[in-house]
Amino acid sequence: MDFLNAIIVLFNFTVIPALAYGSQLALGAIFVTLIYAVLRFANFATGDMMSFGTMFAVILTYYFQSLGFGLGVLPTALLTIPFAVLMMILYMLIIDKFVFSYYRIKKSPPVQFAMVSVGVMFVTQALIRIIIGPSDRRFLDGEKFIIKATEFKEMTGLAEGITLKSTQAITIIVTLIVVSIMFWFLNRTKTGTSMRAYSDNEDLALLSGIDPKRVVLITWVIAGILATIGGVLYGLDKSYRPFVYFNNMLPIFAAAIVGGIGNPFGAFLGGYVIAFAEIFVTYAYKRFISYLLPEHLEPDSLLQLLSTDYKFAVSFSILVIVLLIRPSGIFKGKVI
């Protein structure tokens, strides 16, 4: 019984949150990695683009709520995602047309692209703050919990309970659906194949008649879908604050590089690697251990490797270690 309790404690406080957080990171990391693979630059506007897409979802959610639309137990935000995605793709295409395409045609070095994306980051951040303001916004409605700790305890008769928030379940399910569709698209369809060809060798791809404009367009469309969905899921789970999204860019980058930049599957797993590492290293194992050990051996301290203040630092340290030992990432990405 104690063993079961210990497992449930661990599951409730580390595995479920890490799965949800990892899914959000994974979507962002695939976004980073796709842009890196096809358009060949590190996009420093990642966090703010996700925030921009989420902003539309937040505004539309408020609008739908005022009209009385809703999905019942599910959050209204899910209904707004398609519209938000459309707006996001439109914004990305405008940015690409007026900013990035010029450098792509000129074949500028990646560093220049990165600097340009910093400019896009500033502009996007300004637009978000001017349109919706910098304050904290909650736009979650519908049922909050799927399983509550007390219900779980009553059901099983255990001392510890599992809490499953509906946002966590939605995050994990939606991520799995989106990512599987994306992988199917990349690996099985003709357009996906042409994208991968373009990413592997641009000249050969052009030679075999692949239209670069179409590839770029499709990339931005997929990027818009990933960015918006990732952003909305994060916003539903925590809350929507423009500033936080900018900070999230850093673990997302870490996830993309740890998984091997340019490799979508690596980025997907990288998101979970970062999330699990962050949560496992900063979790206090006292309660977990006290179930496993006999009573007189119970530890006094919290048994925490690092305090939660260093959550971000953990993921960055992992990144630095990976860069040092295996610069191409866990799954071989583009070779540096």
For binding to another protein (CB under 8 A), which residues are involved? 41-42, 44, 99, 102, 109-112, 114-116, 118-127, 129-130, 133-134, 246, 250, 253-254, 257, 305, 307, 309-310, 312-313, 316-317, 319-320, 323-324, 327, 336
Tell me the β-bridge partners of 164: 147
237 contact partners, CB below 8 Å, separation of at least 6: 20, 21, 24, 165, 167, 168, 171
Q: Toward another protein, which CB reaches closer, 89 or 116?
A: 116
Query: From the CB of 174, what's the least distance to another protein, in Å?
Result: 27
Sign of the CA dihedral 226, 84, 219, 327?
Answer: negative
Q: Toward another protein, which CB reaches closer, 114 or 159?
A: 114
Neighbours of 237 (CB within 10 A): 19
Q: Toward another protein, which CB reaches closer, 47 or 224?
A: 47
Tell me the β-bridge partners of 74: 71
Query: From the CB of 69, what's the least distance to another protein, in Å?
Result: 23
Query: From the CB of 331, what's the least distance to another protein, in Å?
Result: 16
Q: Toward another protein, which CB reaches closer, 232 or 314?
A: 314
Lookup: tokens for 223: 């990027």
Query: From the CB of 237, what's the least distance to another protein, in Å?
Result: 22
- Distance from C-alpha of 333 to C-alpha of 121, rounded to nearest angstrom: 25
Query: From the CB of 123, what's the least distance to another protein, in Å?
Result: 4
Tell me the β-bridge partners of 71: 74
Distances, alpha carbon 335 to alpha carbons 45, 163, 257, in Å:
23, 42, 11
242 contact partners, CB below 8 Å, separation of at least 6: 48, 51, 55, 125, 128, 129, 132, 134
Q: Toward another protein, which CB reaches closer, 230 or 329?
A: 329
Query: From the CB of 257, what's the least distance to another protein, in Å?
Result: 7
Query: From the CB of 109, what's the least distance to another protein, in Å?
Result: 8
Q: Toward another protein, which CB reaches closer, 101 or 193?
A: 101
Query: From the CB of 179, what's the least distance to another protein, in Å?
Result: 23
Q: Toward another protein, which CB reaches closer, 67 or 324?
A: 324
Q: Toward another protein, which CB reaches closer, 246 or 291?
A: 246
